[in-house]
């Protein structure tokens, strides 16, 4: 590893207030008459990846998980916020700076078939990766890389083409290729959701083993909160482009505080169902995710929330530290300081209708 002096748990990669708005191209008359619009894919996301720890990022389709990973990998320029690698703010736009960054922060994608070139062998993919990152690409290095992902003996695999491998073996080759850089952080975007159910656990266990042996900081993106509990040290929950809850995985999955997380946990299949981790079609709760072009005001979950109060549509809830476990937080008005909530609802009442909340608070 590039730095053995740092202790386990040391911060590797941090994002603060990370924001990404994609412009929406208007067509026809709208292009002339309408103000330019944007997709609010990621808003004000803050997270920390630590050495030797897996952080899960959970949320339904379209909640912005992949965009967060791509921003962290510097594959997109960001609209706002900061990304710090080892404490240093970074914004790279290709070229040498990107290469240096990618050496330290690697990404693994959902579909190993798409990410490997069908006309090249395993040997070619790994040799190229080692060379790009300035490493020795001799036989022993190739063997070592394949050994790290448990594809042994290496000679069985080196001259195979992607189509000659199983899905799990292909994903292992993608992981080996990422490890060729000797990275500090690995961003895994739904790394098992396209794999056969029977081999998902094996690949997750491999990632966990690598985290431990190589002290990697791993971001594990998934739809499946049950697999986050099994696999991740920390779990973060995203809804409609915003982070809504976070904490150690046990607490977030066993005592979820945010109503959206509660819904996810309630509708998640039994954790014992680990054989099916990462199922793509999990439609967690049957509700409709909101438009991210005009996202709901205030708490973006308020149109679907069974606990919504007037303040929820008015103002974005801030993170509140919860007392049940260290590091557990939720961004929800249910947990906001009573005084702040009361103040906001009073303002709402002054502007318009009197609310239940105001009546309650007045007594």
Ligand X SMILES: Nc1ncnc2c1ncn2[C@@H]1O[C@H](COP(=O)(O)OP(=O)(O)OP(=O)(O)O)[C@@H](O)[C@H]1O
Site for ligand X in 30-49 (CB under 6 A): 39, 41
State the number of binding residues for ligand X (CB under 6 A).
13
Residue 39 or 257 having the CB closest to ligand X: 39
For the sheet with 185-189, list strands across it: 105-108, 185-189, 217-222, 53-58, 234-239, 242-248, 329-331, 319-321
Determine, following the binding rule CB under 6 A, whether residue 236 of this chain makes contact with ligand SF4.
Answer: no
Contacted by 237, from ligand X, ligand SF4, Mg ion, none: CB < 5 to 8 Å by type? none
Q: Hey, what are 30's tokens? A: 């709208």
Window 270-299: residues binding ligand SF4 (CB under 6 A): 299
Our CA angle for 245, 265, 216, nearest 5°, is: 60
Specify whether the CB–CB gap between 260 and 225 falls below 8 A.
no
The reply to whether 115 sits near Mg ion by the rule CB under 5 A is: no
Q: Which of 199, 334, 349, 361 binds ligand SF4 (CB under 6 A)?
A: 334
The single residue among 6, 26, 62, 150 that binds ligand X, judged by CB under 6 A, is: 62
Closest separation between CB of residue 156 and ligand X, Å? 33
The residues, ordered by sequence, that sit 6+ positions from 144 with a Cβ below 8 Å of its Cβ are none
Is residue 286 left, alpha or beta, with left meaning phi > 0 and alpha meaning psi from -120 to 50? left
Nearer CB in complex with ligand X: 60/234: 60
In the list ligand X, ligand SF4, Mg ion, none, the entry touching 85 (Cβ below 5 to 8 angstroms by class) is none
Q: Does 249 bind Mg ion (CB under 5 A)?
A: no
Which of 66, 235, 251, 261 is in the footprint of Mg ion by CB under 5 A? Answer: 66
* Contact status, residue 186 vs residue 106, Cβ threshold 8 Å: yes
Nearer to ligand X, 68 or 129 (CB): 68
Cβ atoms of 62 and 291 closer than 8 Å: no
Whether 219 and 226 have beta carbons less than 8 Å apart is answered as no
User: For the sheet containing 11-24, what is the strand order?
Assistant: 37-50, 11-24, 80-85, 88-89
Q: Least distance from C-beta 350 to ligand X, angstroms?
A: 35
Q: Reduced to 3 states, what is the DSSP secondary structure of residue 174?
A: helix
Q: Does 193 bind Mg ion (CB under 5 A)?
A: no
Residues that bind ligand SF4 (CB under 6 A): 258-259, 299, 301-302, 305, 307-309, 312, 317, 332-334
């Amino acid at each position: 590893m590039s730095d053995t002096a740092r202790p386990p748990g040391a911060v590797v990669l941090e994002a603060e207030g990370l924001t990404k708005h994609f412009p929406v191209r208007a067509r026809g008359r709208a292009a002339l008459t309408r103000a330019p619009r944007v997709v609010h894919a990621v808003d004000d996301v803050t997270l920390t990846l630590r050495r030797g720890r897996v952080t899960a990022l959970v949320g339904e389709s379209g909640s912005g998980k992949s965009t967060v990973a791509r921003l962290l990998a510097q594959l997109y320029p960001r609209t706002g916020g900061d990304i710090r690698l080892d404490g240093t703010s970074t914004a790279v736009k290709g070229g040498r700076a990107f290469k240096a960054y990618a050496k330290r922060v690697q990404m693994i994608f959902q579909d190993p078939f798409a990410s490997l070139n069908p006309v090249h062998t395993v040997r070619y993919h790994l040799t190229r990766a080692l060379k790009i990152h300035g490493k020795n690409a001799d036989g022993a290095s190739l063997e070592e890389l394949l050994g790290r992902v448990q594809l042994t003996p290496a000679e069985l695999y080196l001259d195979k083409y992607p189509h000659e491998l199983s899905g799990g073996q292909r994903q292992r080759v993608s992981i080996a290729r990422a490890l060729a850089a000797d990275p500090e952080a690995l961003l895994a975007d739904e790394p098992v959701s396209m794999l056969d159910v029977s081999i998902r656990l094996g690949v997750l266990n491999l990632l966990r083993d690598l985290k431990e042996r190589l002290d990697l900081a791993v971001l594990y993106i998934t739809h499946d909160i049950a697999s986050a509990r099994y696999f991740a040290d920390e779990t973060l929950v995203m809804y409609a482009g915003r982070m809504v809850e976070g904490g150690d995985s046990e607490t977030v999955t066993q005592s979820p505080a945010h109503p959206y997380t509660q819904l996810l946990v309630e509708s998640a299949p039994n954790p014992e169902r680990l054989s099916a981790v990462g199922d793509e079609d999990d439609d967690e709760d049957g509700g409709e995710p909101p438009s991210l072009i005009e996202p709901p005001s205030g708490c973006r979950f308020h149109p679907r929330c069974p606990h919504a109060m007037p303040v929820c549509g008015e103002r974005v809830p801030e993170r509140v530290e919860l007392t049940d476990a260290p590091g557990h937080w939720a961004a929800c008005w249910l947990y906001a300081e009573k005084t702040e909530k009361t103040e906001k609802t009073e303002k709402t009442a002054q502007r318009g209708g009197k609310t239940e909340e105001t009546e309650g608070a007045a007594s």
